[in-house]
Structure 1
């Protein structure tokens, strides 16, 4: 179906009809000015008489009433337009669902605030209307939210979206009645929403372990269920990690190192590592139990990983789904742990480097190239397997991989809501992941006959 990138602009204050450029009416075959133009955006519609104006660019000038009925701010918007079944359809409309906190007349979207600005900038280039909303902004099928204008996010009524990217940070929110109501309404109106839920670490491990190709890249991992099971595991391994099944950003991870004199236990906190020695497993368990009883944990064999300048290192590889249902690597960084930390998460003080930069210092040129290629291929395979087996729609994964001292790769973790709190390696440009998300939004919106 033919579509064109158009400029939607406000008409004069006294006007009560649409002004459509001749260039656009020629494309869509709209020549009878005696008819009424049906104009839609999302699920919102308006009907107005139209006048053809002699302009070579693709322009629609609309009165204030049209902007109000379409629930879009009365300002200039670059959008796509197509003509179908007597209706001039504008769009697409993409929205991000997340937490929004207001204070002093301003709103903040937490750790993805700057990222939302990047998404907005990509949408402006792509010709897509974009806004951010929270669960509180949806009521009985009606949407409000925040649009970006002159450097600020402003609250207003918003059109119903064509596609939603779920960036809620709380598992509790995803289990709330408000989220259930919203997702039911989106499903009812066949509006796709992607990365619709968190995947816990144990569920992800089981999906990957069932795959014959990926199984050799997984460290030995078990669900912590009994005291005896923990003792057997720790006794068999030199180093054991105990990770919360529902954890994120490297928090609440415990590391147990077995030695001749007993056990060394340390765990990540916001102020560094807490370290304690225990001579017996009984003493160790007494120390661990107050932490373990709070939530579910899994236990994982510690791998003798490659380090950089004496610090722990891994690789975060962001993968995005494309319009042909294949996956691509959008970006990759090496993460080196901060001082007194055994995890490399940026939230725990880690530092970012280019993988090429670090691997070229640790290996010869040919070996470094093949390792980068292997890490990318492994990340794509992980993304394909998890997206196929987990259910729902996923458009982005953050894959954490590491290399051991022999150069063998290991799958550490798969993130369905990868952190956006760091600005990336080039803070002056929108991250490739932002473009990947918006391109997937455009595809899911079904606005185009997807050749793009």
Structure 2
């Protein structure tokens, strides 16, 4: 039988103790019915140590003291705050839960680590994890050695390097599919499975995958734009015979990269696509010339084709909406934020990475509809996002803790699901107001839920 948990605000290393001693305050010992000089065990993740428990009437209620060899063996020298529950049968103190964020690469600049565009997000997460009594660190899958990993923990507003046991739970923020699928990446995830360490944001799913999943659902299908897997010129011409403007999108593109737009105007095809020098437009007259230009661009990757949605526009720029869905402490999906993104007038996409700007969804929608209708539309997008997230959960292996749903609203007010982002970007100011990301608290709660610590 397990006790309820306690929050330990001071984990102290006491040099005066014998090598196997821990000291508990009187209050904890009486709540948990623990006797002076009792023999037991203490554990942190997969590390355990036999201990003798001493009780001290002068020790503050939320402090536990450890002998240096115990703190060293359990890799707890740098941990100050955590949670603890007691297993009466095993006579075992469980400490934790540690949360690790795995990323692809860590850059070292002026002795400070850089985690790419998600650096501010991870910093905020480090602060919040401390507030929630969860030891927290970030590491690269490349730095795992056996059951330990070299990474960084956030203390006193700065990152400190350290060696950590693999955590109780891992949040997967590896930002590149080739890294996730590399032999080293696959070995890392296999190790987590072998050690029964849960991890979430299982893997990238591409646009065609998620579209195919949703097409099977009668409740979602009406909100999906017609979509084809581009396997040959007929897929392209068939769509162009019915729509004057189409988009060609890579299976694996992110932040609007690689998208090609084809417009038909007065017998001319206008092709707009990204290059290293910015967006380029070419004009051709025949189907053959069109396919020849596209073939060069689409040969190396797989693409889908979709008609352009006659979307709401603001100052002649397209608008889309991002609904972030995150799991909570009960493992249930919640819509956590809804923002609108207005494209840069010269671009064919509204992604912030491509120069788009962000507005509050309710403020922007009120330009096009009544306040009541705007509220209803946002509520509807949130519900569609949660429903879509539940479908992905049901139909795929692995765990997901957050999903970003991109929506467009056409001029008739109909809502369309554009795509699902398996690892929603954190590098822009999306839901980043007054330095707080509302999703962080939910996500940390979900991570704790996966460790079992939230159940005590």
Give TM class, smaller chain: over 0.9
| Counterparts in 2 of 1:261 and 1:73: CA distance versus 1, 3 Å | farther
Partner SS state of residue 367, structure 2: helix
Give 1:261 deviation, angstroms.
Answer: 2.4
Aligned equivalents of 1:419, 1:376: Cα separation in 2: 18
Deviation at 1:121, TM superposition (A): 1.6
How far the C-alpha of 1:142 sits from its partner, in A, is: 2.4
In the TM superposition, what are the counterparts of 1:10-409 in structure 2 within 5 Å?
A: 10-16=12-18, 17-33=21-37, 35-54=38-57, 55-75=59-79, 77-84=80-87, 85-99=90-104, 100-269=106-275, 272-409=278-415
8 A contact 1:315–1:401 mirrored in 2: yes
1:93–1:159 Cα contact (<8 Å) kept: no
> 1:134 is paired with a residue of what secondary structure?
strand
Which deviates more from structure 2 when the two are superposed, residues 234-243 or residues 320-329? Answer: 320-329
Counterpart for residue 419 of structure 1: 425
CA distance in 1, matches of 2:109, 2:6: 40
Residue 272 of structure 1 deviates from its aligned partner by: 4.2
How far apart are residue 153 of structure 1 and its match?
A: 1.8
Residues 117 and 270 of structure 1, relative CA distance in 2, 3 Å threshold:
farther
In structure 2, runs of 5+ residues without a counterpart are none
Deviations 1:118-170 (A, max 9, x none): 11122111111111111122122222321112322222111221111111011
* Aligned partner of residue 361 in structure 1, secondary structure: coil
Provide, for residues 331-359 of structure 1, a one-character-per-residue CA deviation record: whole Å limited to 9, x for no partner. Answer: 11101112411211111111111111111
Give how far 1:10 is off: 2.6
Q: Deviations over 1:70-90 (max 9, x none)?
A: 113435x22110001211111
Taking the aligned partners of 1:107 and 1:270, their CA distance within structure 2 comes to 28
Question: Could you state the TM-score of these two structures normalised by the residue count of structure 1?
Answer: 0.95
How much does 1:269 deviate?
A: 4.9
For residues 302-334 of structure 1, give each alpha carbon's deviation from its aligned partner in whole angstroms, at most 9, with x where no partner exists: 110011222110000000123444311011110
CA–CA distance in structure 1, aligned partners of residues 351 and 68 of structure 2: 48
State the Cα distance separating 1:37 from its structure 2 match: 4.2
CA distance in 2, matches of 1:400, 1:310: 20
Aligned to 2:449, the other structure's residue is in SS state: helix
CA distance in 1, matches of 2:278, 2:379: 34
Distance 1:201 1:361, change over 3 A: same
- 2:404 aligned counterpart, secondary structure: strand
Q: Deviations over 1:160-186 (max 9, x none)?
A: 211111110111111122222222221
CA contact (8 A) 1:242 1:299 kept: yes
- CA displacement at 1:107 relative to structure 2: 1.4
Q: What's 1:438 paired with?
A: 444
Cα separation, 1, equivalents of 2:445 and 2:284: 53
